[in-house]
Chains A and B, each alone.
Chain A
């Protein structure tokens, strides 16, 4: 391995022709006396030569038609949707569904009291509402010791 030289950054830029005139001349003077930089320059040139031997892989087909077809597909998707946007109806649908469910629930409270007594223990077992959380009012929803 090369002994590191503080000028290795300049060396790399020198190889790439990216040093300004003044820095380049200064570096060339340094290069004459620095064996580490000389050795490194040789290695970097080898490396560059090796990069030139890398195979030039290709896509292998014309990508343009595939890109244009994909664009066509992406354009077709929103165009096929109705202009008024179906998702705007979502709140109305939810409101309608909620109204129906509320009606059914209130109807049950008024007319189906005996059924509620049977259903309540089942609810207590599976109800996801934690103890102390808001509940519609069945005593069985809560642990006995808290009542």
Chain B
């Protein structure tokens, strides 16, 4: 593929095609993979870390790792799933180092936005997602992980199992418990 070709031609390729081109020395194919996945990975990390700078740093770290791994990549896993696995490991390492991996009791005082603050539909919707984000931050990390992967990334249980290194049965029960916990945190507020 010619380097001077417009970005549009890259967008038509599947991930595995970009990977194959990159393995043949086409660096623009890697740039396309980064562009394609950077926002999803970033959003996940942002909600895991709660900090834009850290989320950006870890997104870059994830992509750097991809660059090193892709030359020997075999297409036995989806690239996106693999990226999330790397991103999730990076987030958990960082959280562990910061010693903030802890269970926050749901009874603890919470600084939730007031759901009845605005009569306007749009405003109410904004309030709801702020309440949800506040509730997510209060959840223990392993619950937050599975809920983000399921509800936001819409991954199947098998994919979530791949990302987190868990059996599907464990994913199933963890998602159920995480939902229960989240409902308890924001019950009546959303």
A residues bordering B, Cβ < 8 Å?
Answer: 1-2, 8-9, 11-13, 16, 18, 40, 43-44, 46-48, 50-51, 53-59, 62-68, 70-71, 74
Chain B residues with Cβ below 8 Å from A9 are 172-173, 176
**Stretch from B82-90, B97-105, B124-132 contacting the other chain:** B124-132
In the complex the two chains form, is A62's CB within 8 Å of B190's CB?
no
A interface SS class: helix
In the complex the two chains form, is A44's CB within 8 Å of B132's CB?
no
Please measure, in the bound complex, the distance between the C-alpha atom of A12 and the C-alpha atom of B34, giving whole angstroms: 33
In the complex the two chains form, is B60's CB within 8 Å of A18's CB?
no
In the complex the two chains form, is A55's CB within 8 Å of B129's CB?
yes
In the complex the two chains form, is A8's CB within 8 Å of B35's CB?
no
Chain A residues with Cβ below 8 Å from B56 are 59
B179 within 8 A of A: yes
Chain A residues with Cβ below 8 Å from B67 are 67, 71
28 intermolecular pairs with C-beta atoms under 8 Å apart:
A1-B184, A12-B176, A16-B150, A16-B157, A18-B156, A18-B172, A40-B183, A43-B187, A47-B190, A51-B152, A53-B128, A54-B129, A54-B132, A56-B43, A57-B43, A59-B39, A59-B56, A63-B38, A63-B60, A64-B35, A64-B63, A67-B64, A68-B27, A68-B30, A68-B31, A70-B60, A71-B67, A74-B64
Assuming the contacts A48-B151, A58-B39, A63-B38, asked whether A53 and B179 have C-beta atoms less than 8 A apart, the reply is: no
Nearest residue in A to B27 (C-beta to C-beta)? Answer: A68
Assuming the contacts A1-B187, A13-B176, A59-B39, asked whether A51 and B63 have C-beta atoms less than 8 A apart, the reply is: no
In the complex the two chains form, is B128's CB within 8 Å of A50's CB?
yes
Chain B residues with Cβ below 8 Å from A44 are 179, 183
Size band of the interface chain B makes with A:
35 or more
Chain B residues with Cβ below 8 Å from A8 are 176, 180
In the complex the two chains form, is B190's CB within 8 Å of A46's CB?
yes
Complex partner residue of A16 from B32, B64, B175, CB under 8 angstroms? B175
For chain B, residues 30 to 69, give those with C-beta under 8 angstroms from any C-beta of chain A.
Answer: 30-32, 34-35, 38-39, 42-43, 46, 56, 59-60, 63-64, 67
